[in-house]
């Protein structure tokens, strides 16, 4: 890239930097998007840069593939119902070890290469996520009952980046594994975030799931309702779409679904005119 091209990129980013200064952006970093050390390092660099230009960035992460890997190593066969992992007491212990003890630590360490910026949390910390059981058949799979973002707001006020693992607990202290898409939406809504960004392993939403040319660069929540109703949104995208719709209707400015495997997808979506994924608007 020539010096002139670099200057053009910076000039294009400037109005977005001004607009998002001091605004909260919640980024859900999915287990399928985490990938290798190089992709994690690229994500961490993007998040650190966003914080450096004044954005109040919160990272919420999952870790489904990583949980599955450890279960396999321990000889435990996973069981799924309606796309959710049946979570008995042993599986819950595995999920907590992976999400809080491994994935969270990896993300925090990668961001902190760029300075003392990131602090790891789980939904159990300071009553951040209060949960309840989804159903007896699913065991310790939880739904978000409420979100207390006071600890997140205190960290943001200290110019830190909260990195949140989606384990919540009920009033008695029982832990639950919570769908990270749902948790990210609930946290974004509680913070009245300017943006909610889902980094996943697809390039965005398609009007026709089998046609790459039908990628939707922008869509309204009412349009999404119609796409869910006619079956265009399927399988693992349903929780993301439902979370996007709920969060935007609950006061979040915009929601985005991006391919986290694309280098610097986060920066391209936030700081350029055209973006790289699907933006969901009110």
Phi-psi region of 42 (alpha: psi -120 to 50; beta: other; left: phi over 0): alpha
pLDDT exceeds 60 at position 250 = yes
pLDDT at 210: 72
b/e 82-102 (16+ beta carbons within 10 angstroms → b): eebbebeeebbebbbebbbee
What value does the mean pLDDT of the chain take? 89
> Is residue 1 over pLDDT 60?
no
pLDDT tens-digit series, residues 155-165: 999 999 999 99
Q: Give domain limits for the chain.
A: 19-281
Per-residue pLDDT of 101-143, as tens digits, reads 999 999 999 999 999 999 999 999 999 999 999 999 999 999 9
pLDDT computed for residue 32 by the predictor: 66
50-54, 97-101, 225-229, 251-255: which has the minimum mean pLDDT?
225-229
The top-level CATH class assigned to 19-281 is alpha beta
Position 68 pLDDT exceeds 80: yes
Residue 175: strand, helix, or coil: strand
pLDDT band with cut points at 50, 70 and 90 for residue 35: low
d(CA 27, CA 121): 15
Residue showing tokens 């930097």: 17
pTM of whole model > 0.85?
Answer: yes
The pLDDT tens digits for 260-282 are 888 888 888 888 776 778 889 88
What pLDDT score does 236 carry?
A: 66
pLDDT at 126: 96
How many angstroms separate the Cα of 73 from the Cα of each of 22, 70, 165, 166?
44, 5, 22, 22
Q: Which helix (H) or strand (E) holds 239?
A: helix 237-249
In this predicted model, which residue has the larger pLDDT, 255 or 34? 255
Once rounded to an integer, what is the mean pLDDT over residues 14-40? 85
What pLDDT sits at residue 98? 95
Grade residue 235 by pLDDT with cuts at 50, 70 and 90.
Answer: low
């Amino acid at each position: 890239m020539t010096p002139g091209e670099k200057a053009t990129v910076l000039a294009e980013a400037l109005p977005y930097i001004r607009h998002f200064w001091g605004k909260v952006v919640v980024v859900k970093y999915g287990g399928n998007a985490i990938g290798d050390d190089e992709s994690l390092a690229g994500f961490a660099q993007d998040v650190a840069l966003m914080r450096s230009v004044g954005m109040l960035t919160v990272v919420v992460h999952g870790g489904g593939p990583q949980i599955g890997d450890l279960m396999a190593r321990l000889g435990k066969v996973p069981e799924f119902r309606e796309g959710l992992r049946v979570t008995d007491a042993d599986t819950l212990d595995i999920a907590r070890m992976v999400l809080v003890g491994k994935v969270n630590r990896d993300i925090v360490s990668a961001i902190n290469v760029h300075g003392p910026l990131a602090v790891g949390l789980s939904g159990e910390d300071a009553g951040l996520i209060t949960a309840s059981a989804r159903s007896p058949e699913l065991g310790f799979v939880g739904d978000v009952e409420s979100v207390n973002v006071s600890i997140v707001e205190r960290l943001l006020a200290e110019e830190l980046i909260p990195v949140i693992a989606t384990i919540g607990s009920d009033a008695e202290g029982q832990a639950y594994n919570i769908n990270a898409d749902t948790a990210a939406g609930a946290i974004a809504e509680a913070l009245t975030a300017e943006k909610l960004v889902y980094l996943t392993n697809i390039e965005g939403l398609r009007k026709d799931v089998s046609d790459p040319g039908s990628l939707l660069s922008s869509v309204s929540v009412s349009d999404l309702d119609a796409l869910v109703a006619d079956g265009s949104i399927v399988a693992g995208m349903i929780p993301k779409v439902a979370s996007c719709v709920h969060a935007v209707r609950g006061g979040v400015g915009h929601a985005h679904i991006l391919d986290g495997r694309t280098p610097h997808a986060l920066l391209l979506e936030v700081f350029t005119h055209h973006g790289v994924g699907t933006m969901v608007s009110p």
